Chain A
């Protein structure tokens, strides 16, 4: 596929440290754009915190409330503790996905490296949370199953099951966003054939907005399920 340059091109300033390439890779530059957007919005929202919130603060309060609600629903009253991780991941993915609908930008989540970084962070975090809440012995006992003599069989099975989680998290997000991005690029490159722009605007735009929201929601929700599974012991679990 032909390569569409993005608006933001950052020269590779780490060349002296042995980082190859003349430019900072696209997905890294785009991830920085997302970070800049998030930092800027957060700054604007919290610049003048007020009991009667302005529009920006109001909006961010609604967004944060949404995350807190979901966390308390999925994890329980202690769920608020995990807001920093989940909220950051969710907002990063959402803004990153939506960046794909802006011409001249590419979603950083259309690259497996970005999504793998996010998924590995979630994976390490939920294991850490589980060990912190239950202690390492009790946490590892979950891996061995309920019957003691089956433990040598259950342990590798559970271990593989846990390893599958970051893989499915990262590949699903990457696959969806990359696929959507590729379809848009192909449709745009076929415009000279007489395929009307309406297809792009009328079908692909709503579709990509939809996948953006759904994929970030899925990522956030599965992360919460994993954290909930790690911090609650078996008999506490309620569903």
Chain B
């Protein structure tokens, strides 16, 4: 019972971070892309590329966290 409850709390804590990490990943990807585009003058290609990287990172994190905390 005690163990179960501790596990539930840990799950709650872990799962409550899913959304914000997902959003932060995409934002960071886009920010890196925009910064690189400004620096190298290759607009808009790196923005698009790193935005996709950001989305991919978001989903990777999501899947990893779900694997760790789900069930």
Residues of A near any B CB (own CB < 8 A): 153, 156-161, 163-165, 167-168, 171-172, 214, 217-218, 221-222, 225, 239
A156 touches B24 (CB 8 A): no
* Interface: B48 (CB within 8 A): no
A160 touches B29 (CB 8 A): yes
Q: Give CA–CA (A157, B55) in the complex, Å.
A: 9
A222 touches B28 (CB 8 A): no
23 contacts between A and B (CB under 8 A): A157-B56, A160-B25, A160-B53, A160-B54, A160-B57, A161-B25, A161-B60, A161-B61, A163-B28, A164-B21, A164-B28, A164-B57, A167-B24, A167-B27, A168-B21, A172-B16, A172-B20, A217-B9, A217-B13, A218-B13, A221-B14, A225-B14, A225-B68
By a CB distance below 8 angstroms, the chain A residues around B24 are 164, 167-168, 171
User: How many residue pairs between the two chains, A and B, have CB atoms under 8 Å in the bound complex?
Assistant: 62
Apart from A160-B25, A160-B32, A167-B28, what are 6 other A-B pairs with CB-CB below 8 Å? A157-B57, A164-B25, A164-B28, A168-B24, A214-B13, A221-B13
Residues of B near any A CB (own CB < 8 A): 9-10, 13-14, 16-17, 20-21, 24-25, 27-29, 32, 50, 53-54, 56-58, 60-61, 67-68
> Smallest distance from the beta carbon of B33 to chain A beta carbons, Å?
10
B57 touches A222 (CB 8 A): no
